[in-house]
């Protein structure tokens, strides 16, 4: 099989010679047989393990061993990801709790100042998203992630020392920069360790801790608030909350540094040949486990791929509502007719509902192979919830609160998109590029979001409510396009593989091919 120059790659689905696959810029054509694959310096890290193995071909792993390996991975990988991801959400939403615990008064913030605190976090996130995605590819994955976790914990603690808008705005900007590594890093961890059929649920598990974090954050804030509300104390309650979560995050960052492996090839909890078997488990993902080499052609492909821009549009439109609600949810609940202290408690069920919805969506999405359809249903539930908030009279505070709880189900669609990036975007440079673009749009939406809540419209926030409904409706249509596009591409790939002249490249899954140039990669729906 001939292998072309990487800078002259073609779309394998449209090429007259579908058996050609390109590998590396500036390299001469080489045989794609297993004996030669180890020579490629730009192939996946897993290729070395496969090449050095006594059996470089596919290994048959029985179900009992697969189950044992999966349990071992879950035990050592998932707890760290879940706790850290929950903390990343808590660190952002602590601002909302603090807003009704005296922060605005103590720092002399205007309503406009507070709106910008929600946006400034995402300005830092947006500005550093692509650089941090490149560093996630170039540097050891776990160590770089831990470095950012420790720094964001330290930065969050420093919020307690601020005394004016300029100080807290600077802290929020840095906080966004350090947290920018979390979501793209965790997408890479998920695609590294889990098979496609496992990735939807596992992404749902670590994302669900956003919901559990809401519960814990609300309870802690309520407990702390019992001291500051109406009484003079040595340290303001909002400062205590920032210190508590900042210090806990720093401790978790240190544990993450000591415990989390950079890849299945660099871990202490796998013994003997288990590392090789873990790699073998993910063979049919057609994605490998990582590649340190930057490949410009994959960046160009990411920008030319329709799925990229469908992801970007979804992230932007979904996160306009998210940015507003996550910044103003405490004040939104107060606008329903509840007290500030009650709003801290009534925010807790919202977290439970979001977590359960994410877990159920992940489970059934993987079980039935319909992540997009199931997540679309969750988004429709949220649209109904927002209609309740918009349409019910102010006196129906119970019904409006129920609508707010239904709104939380919208998170399942964002989680599904993250899992699709893990499952369907191949080529390590392309994956980090798509993830970065997705999260840049995510940041842009969250920057815009707080600005749609006009304090003059309180308690109705009519402009924000209508904007949210429009954004989510377009998101449902976008999900429909993504599903249609994947079905169309899968049919093309099926025709390529069925062609008489087609010859599968041996160990193609370890060559760091993109999803568009690898006919063996089937898009998950």
Q: Locate 336 and state its tokens.
A: 């329903």
Over residues 86-103, the mean pLDDT reads 80
Residue with tokens 């924000």: 464
- Which pLDDT belongs to residue 111? 77
Of 158 and 428, the structure prediction assigns the larger pLDDT to 158
Q: Locate 391 and state its tokens.
A: 């349409």
Closest CA to 183 of 504, 439, 510, 453: 439
Q: How far apart are CA 327 and CA 100, in angstroms?
A: 12
Torsion angles phi and psi, residue 449, rounded to 5: -50, -55
Q: How far apart are CA 41 and CA 64, in angstroms?
A: 35
3-state secondary structure string across 392-461: CCCCCHHHHHHHHHHHHHHHHHHHHHHHHHHHHCCCHHHHHHHHHHHHHHHHHHHHHHHHHCCHHHCCCC
The answer to whether position 16 is within a domain reads: no
Q: How far apart are CA 61 and CA 298, in angstroms?
A: 32
Q: Locate 118 and state its tokens.
A: 């929600």
Over residues 18-38, the mean pLDDT reads 36
Q: How far apart are CA 327 and CA 99, in angstroms?
A: 9
The answer to whether position 65 is within a domain reads: no
The answer to whether position 432 is within a domain reads: yes
pLDDT one-digit tens code per residue, 434-457: 999 999 999 899 888 878 877 677
Q: How far apart are CA 389 and CA 267, in angstroms?
A: 49
Closest CA to 449 of 115, 88, 182: 115
Over residues 1-30, the mean pLDDT reads 37
Q: How far apart are CA 126 and CA 75, in angstroms?
A: 33
- Which pLDDT belongs to residue 307? 96
Helix locations, 25-62, DSSP H: 34-37, 46-52
- Which pLDDT belongs to residue 158? 94
> Residue 112 — very low, low, confident or very high, per pLDDT cuts 50/70/90?
confident
Evaluate the omega torsion of the peptide bond into residue 131 and state whether it is cis, within 30 degrees of 0.
no
Tell me if 159 sits within 8 A of 242, measured CB to CB.
Answer: yes
Of 506 and 113, the structure prediction assigns the larger pLDDT to 113
Of 159 and 46, the structure prediction assigns the larger pLDDT to 159
Q: Which pTM was predicted?
A: 0.80
Q: Of the ranges 326-330, 369-373, 404-408, which one carries the lowest mean pLDDT score?
A: 326-330
Task: Report percent pLDDT > 70 for the chain.
Answer: 85
Q: How far apart are CA 250 and CA 204, in angstroms?
A: 24
The answer to whether position 291 is within a domain reads: yes
Closest CA to 425 of 523, 492, 304: 523
The answer to whether position 95 is within a domain reads: yes
Q: To the nearest whole number, what is the mean pLDDT of the chain?
A: 82
Closest CA to 287 of 177, 187, 374, 366: 187
The answer to whether position 184 is within a domain reads: yes
Q: Of the ranges 194-198, 308-312, 382-386, which one carries the lowest mean pLDDT score?
A: 194-198
pLDDT one-digit tens code per residue, 179-214: 999 999 999 999 889 988 899 999 999 999 988 887
Q: How far apart are CA 58 and CA 299, in angstroms?
A: 30
Domain total of the chain: 1
Q: How far apart are CA 405 and CA 417, in angstroms?
A: 22
Tell me if 88 sits within 8 A of 248, measured CB to CB.
Answer: no
Q: Locate 111 and state its tokens.
A: 């309503």
- Which pLDDT belongs to residue 304? 96
Q: How far apart are CA 499 and CA 490, in angstroms?
A: 14
Cα 132 to Cα 180, 301, 373, distances in angstroms: 7, 20, 32
- Which pLDDT belongs to residue 46? 62
Closest CA to 165 of 82, 75, 103: 103
Residue with tokens 């062609």: 499
Q: Which of helix, strand or coil describes residue 266?
A: strand
Closest CA to 192 of 344, 73, 26, 64: 73
**Is pLDDT at 507 greater than 80 in this prediction?**
no
Q: Give 299-324 as a DSSP string.
A: HHHHHH-HHHHHHHHHHHHHHHHHHH
Q: How far apart are CA 53 and CA 419, in angstroms?
A: 31
- Which pLDDT belongs to residue 2? 35
- Which pLDDT belongs to residue 434? 95
Over residues 269-283, the mean pLDDT reads 78
Task: Kindly report the CATH number assigned to the domain that includes residue 241.
Answer: 1.20.1250.20
Of 238 and 316, the structure prediction assigns the larger pLDDT to 316
The answer to whether position 308 is within a domain reads: yes
Of 332 and 524, the structure prediction assigns the larger pLDDT to 524
Q: Locate 217 and state its tokens.
A: 């954050």
Tell me if 114 sits within 8 A of 105, measured CB to CB.
Answer: no
Closest CA to 213 of 75, 359, 351: 351
| Strands, E assignment, 91-142 | none
The answer to whether position 177 is within a domain reads: yes
pLDDT one-digit tens code per residue, 163-176: 999 999 999 999 99
- Which pLDDT belongs to residue 18? 37
Residue with tokens 């994302």: 207
Beta-bridge partners for 263: 266
Range of 362's domain?
A: 73-491
């Amino acid at each position: 099989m001939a292998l072309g120059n990487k800078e002259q790659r073609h779309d394998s689905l449209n090429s007259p010679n579908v058996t050609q696959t390109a590998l590396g810029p500036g390299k001469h054509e080489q045989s794609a047989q297993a004996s030669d694959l180890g020579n490629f310096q730009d192939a996946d890290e897993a290729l070395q393990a496969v090449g050095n193995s006594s059996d470089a071909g596919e290994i048959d792993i029985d179900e009992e061993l697969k189950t044992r390996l999966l349990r071992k991975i879950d035990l050592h990988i998932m707890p760290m990801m879940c706790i850290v991801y929950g903390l990343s959400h808590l660190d952002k939403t602590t601002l909302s709790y603090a807003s009704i615990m005296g922060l605005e008064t103590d720092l002399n913030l205007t309503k406009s100042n507070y709106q910008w605190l929600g946006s400034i976090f995402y300005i830092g996130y947006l500005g550093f998203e692509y650089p941090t995605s490149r560093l996630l590819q170039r540097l050891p994955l776990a160590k770089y992630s831990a470095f950012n976790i420790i720094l964001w914990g330290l930065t969050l603690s420093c919020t307690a020392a601020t005394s004016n808008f300029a100080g807290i705005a600077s802290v929020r900007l840095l906080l966004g920069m350090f947290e920018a590594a979390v979501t793209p890093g965790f997408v890479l961890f998920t695609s590294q360790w889990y098979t496609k059929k496992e990735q939807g649920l596992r992404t749902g598990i670590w994302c669900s801790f956003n919901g559990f974090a809401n519960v814990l954050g609300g309870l802690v804030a309520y407990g702390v608030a019992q001291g500051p509300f109406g009484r003079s104390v040595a340290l303001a309650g909002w400062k205590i909350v920032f210190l508590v979560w900042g210090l806990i995050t720093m401790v978790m960052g240190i544990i993450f540094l000591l415990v989390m492996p950079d890849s299945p090839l660099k871990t202490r909890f796998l013994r003997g040949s288990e590392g090789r078997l873990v790699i073998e488990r993910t063979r049919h993902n057609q994605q490998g486990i990582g590649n340190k080499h930057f490949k410009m052609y994959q960046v160009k492909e990411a920008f030319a791929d329709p799925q990229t821009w469908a992801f970007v549009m979804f992230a932007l439109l979904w996160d306009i509502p998210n940015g507003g609600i996550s910044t103003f949810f405490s004040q939104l609940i107060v606008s329903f007719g509840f007290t500030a202290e009650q709003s801290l408690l009534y925010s807790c069920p919202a977290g439970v509902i979001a977590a359960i919805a994410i877990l159920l969506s992940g489970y059934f999405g993987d079980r039935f192979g319909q992540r997009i359809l199931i997540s679309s249903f969750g988004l429709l539930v949220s649209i109904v919830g927002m209609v309740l908030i918009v349409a019910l009279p102010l006196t129906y505070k119970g019904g409006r609160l129920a609508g707010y709880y239904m709104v939380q189900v919208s998170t399942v669609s964002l989680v599904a998109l993250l899992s699709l990036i893990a499952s369907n975007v191949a080529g390590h440079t392309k994956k980090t590029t798509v993830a970065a673009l997705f999260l840049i749009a995510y940041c842009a939406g969250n920057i815009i979001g707080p600005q749609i809540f006009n304090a003059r419209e309180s308690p109705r926030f009519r402009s924000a409510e209508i904007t949210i409904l429009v954004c989510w409706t377009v998101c449902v249509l976008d999900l429909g396009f993504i599903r249609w596009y994947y079905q169309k591409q899968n049919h093309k790939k099926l025709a390529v593989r069925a062609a008489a002249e087609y010859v599968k490249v041996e160990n193609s899954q370890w060559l760091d091919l993109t999803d568009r140039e690898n006919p063996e990669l089937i898009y998950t729906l």
